[in-house]
């Protein structure tokens, strides 16, 4: 599989959010087995969007959002959970796509055993191991300390595709968990996927 290139990310967040569906997050660390998960749910955040971290300009936390598209933006939410975003657009735009849910593809057993040590593997429950932004980062081991600001084009954390084909129906609806700009339709998912996050 081919890593998505710079050009893929140098577009608006809404377009990138849709096109990330069906692509694969791949983590390759030297110590662990490779992990891969198919993205099934995303949300777009732009500079002119009151719900976006970038809305009030660059700060120490969101500085990565203003970089050239293709970096990982990882932040802490509610004191516990990390959220993984792909930065989009040219430098200075302050746009990103939140990856809300993915379906495990490679290293499923590793993810399961990390999350539920000692509990026998259950393939039905395993589909939903990464079904939420906090679950996704926890399951894949994506952290702010290690991954915030790194490139998604090559290296330990990449997003890859096996072809430009979209073989699913696209769902578009309002985003989850926000209190501002609630009317905007900026959440996208693969219709019918069992791995999308719960609340809608």
Partner DNA sequence: CCAGGGATCCGG
Partner DNA sequence: CGGATCCCTGGG
How far is it, in rounded angstroms, from Cα 4 to Cα 15?
Answer: 14
Stretch that binds DNA, among 1-9, 103-111, 161-169, 171-179 (CB under 7 A): 171-179
Site string for DNA, 48-87 (x = CB under 7 A): ---xxxx-x--xxxx------------xxxxxxx-x-x--
**Would you count residue 112 as binding DNA (CB under 7 A)?**
no
Residue 186 and residue 44 in contact, taking contact as beta carbons nearer than 8 Å: yes
Quote helix, strand, coil % in the chain, to nearest 5.
20, 30, 45
**Would you count residue 39 as binding DNA (CB under 7 A)?**
no
E strand residue ranges, the chain: 2-3, 24-27, 35-45, 72-77, 81-88, 95-106, 157-161, 170-174, 185-190
**Would you count residue 171 as binding DNA (CB under 7 A)?**
no
**Would you count residue 179 as binding DNA (CB under 7 A)?**
yes
Instruction: Mark residue 72 as left, alpha or beta (left: phi above 0; alpha: psi -120 to 50; beta: remaining).
Output: beta
SS3 14: helix
How far is it, in rounded angstroms, from Cα 193 to Cα 195?
Answer: 5
Min dist. Cβ of residue 157 to DNA (A): 17
Using CB under 7 A, which of 22, 70, 107, 132 touches DNA?
A: 132
Min dist. Cβ of residue 30 to DNA (A): 27
Stretch that binds DNA, among 3-11, 25-33, 118-126, 174-182 (CB under 7 A): 174-182
Number of residues counted as binding DNA (CB under 7 A): 35
How far is it, in rounded angstroms, from Cα 183 to Cα 170?
Answer: 19
Q: Which residues bind DNA (CB under 7 A)?
A: 43, 45, 51-54, 56, 59-62, 75-81, 83, 85, 96, 98, 132-136, 175-180, 197, 199
């Amino acid at each position: 599989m081919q890593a998505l290139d710079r050009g893929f990310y140098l577009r608006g967040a809404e377009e990138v959010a849709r096109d990330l569906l069906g692509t694969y997050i791949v983590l390759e660390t030297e110590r662990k087995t490779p992990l891969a998960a198919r993205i099934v749910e995303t949300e777009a955040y732009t500079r002119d969007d009151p719900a976006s971290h970038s809305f009030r300009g660059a700060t120490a936390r969101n500085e990565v959002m203003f970089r050239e598209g293709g970096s990982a933006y990882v932040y802490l939410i509610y004191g516990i959970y990390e959220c993984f975003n792909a930065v989009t657009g040219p430098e200075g735009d302050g746009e990103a796509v939140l990856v809300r849910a993915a379906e495990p593809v490679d290293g499923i057993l590793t993810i399961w055993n990390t999350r539920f040590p000692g509990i026998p593997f259950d393939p039905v429950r395993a589909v939903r191991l990464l079904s939420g932004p906090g679950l996704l980062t926890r399951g894949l081991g994506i952290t702010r300390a290690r991954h915030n600001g790194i490139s998604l084009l090559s290296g330990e954390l990449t997003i890859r595709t096996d072809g430009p084909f979209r073989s699913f129906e696209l769902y578009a609806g309002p985003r989850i968990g926000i209190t501002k700009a609630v009317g905007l339709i900026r959440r996208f998912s693969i219709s019918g996927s069992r791995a999308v996050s719960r609340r809608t």
